[in-house]
Every structure is written in C-alpha cells, then in structure tokens.
C-alpha cells in the first residue's frame, strides 16, 4: 500500500494532474504527498544557486503551497513541500532515498523528438533508475 508519494512539480498542466492523482491516492490510503519543485540554474554554478535559494526559497515555497492549495483546498494538511535546485531526475531519485518515499508520480509533457534529444526526458530518466513504483500521468 502506498503511504508516501513524491510528486515532481513544475507548475505545468501535467504536474498539476500528477499532483491531483497523488492526492487522490493519499486520501484512499491515508497517506501523504511530498511535492518537490526543482529549480535549474544553468549559469553560475552551485554558488549562484545557493544565493538564489536563500533569497527566494522561503517565499517561493509559500507561493508553491498557495498554488497547490488552489488546486486542492486542504493540501496543506496532506503535503510536505520542498523547493530545491539541481537536475530534476537526480533530485527526485535522491528524494526517494532521503525521505522514505514508496511511490513516485510524475507528469508527462509531450515534446518533439529534437527537444527530447537535446533536453532529455525526466520521466524516461526516472523510469529507468527508480527503485519504487512510478506512475506517469498524462
């Protein structure tokens, strides 16, 4: 039985659907949902990322919880929210280990072949490497 689901959330329609699915599952199983939003910083490296996180992390986490509550009014009772930086696939996989997550829910975004080749696919990466059940929501 799934007790703690992890959702990668980026504000897209697909991640909103993934979040809603995870909430519904949590309600059925009396579980919780961990929502992680991953910021990617491509210039400046880890030092710049740390500064950005310190400046806007608390505010952005509050905004994220407000956004989730707009989708599911009682979300604050069912979710743990974390805002972090890094590679989305790597972050999601490390969250599984760090927080005892037993299920991962991710949204699938349609991209063309060129975009997948250039940017990769978080869902493909996670599916290949996860050691817990993964649900991809379309």
Q: State pTM to two decimals.
A: 0.83
Domain spanning 4-137, CATH architecture: 3-Layer(aba) Sandwich (3.40)
**pLDDT tens digits in sequence order for the chain, 138 residues long:** 899 999 999 999 999 999 999 999 999 999 999 999 987 766 555 655 565 655 566 788 889 999 999 999 999 999 999 998 888 889 999 999 999 999 999 987 765 554 444 445 677 788 888 999 999 898
Alpha carbon separation from 134 to 59, 62, 102 (Å, rounded):
30, 27, 9
Domain boundaries, the chain: 4-137
DSSP type of residue 34: E
Neighbours of 42 (CB within 10 A): 7
């Amino acid at each position: 039985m799934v007790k703690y689901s992890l959702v990668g959330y980026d504000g897209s329609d697909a991640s909103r659907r993934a979040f809603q699915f995870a909430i519904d599952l949590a309600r059925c199983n009396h579980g919780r949902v961990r929502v992680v939003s991953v910021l990617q910083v491509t210039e400046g490296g880890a030092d710049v990322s740390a500064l950005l996180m310190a400046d806007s992390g608390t505010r952005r986490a509050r905004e994220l919880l407000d956004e989730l509550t707009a989708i599911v009014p009682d979300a604050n009772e069912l979710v743990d929210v974390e805002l972090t930086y890094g590679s989305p696939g790597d972050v999601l996989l490390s969250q599984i280990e760090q927080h005892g997550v037993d299920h991962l829910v991710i949204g699938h975004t349609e991209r063309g072949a060129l975009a997948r080749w250039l940017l990769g696919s978080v869902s493909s990466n996670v599916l290949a490497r996860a050691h817990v059940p993964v649900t991809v929501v379309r």
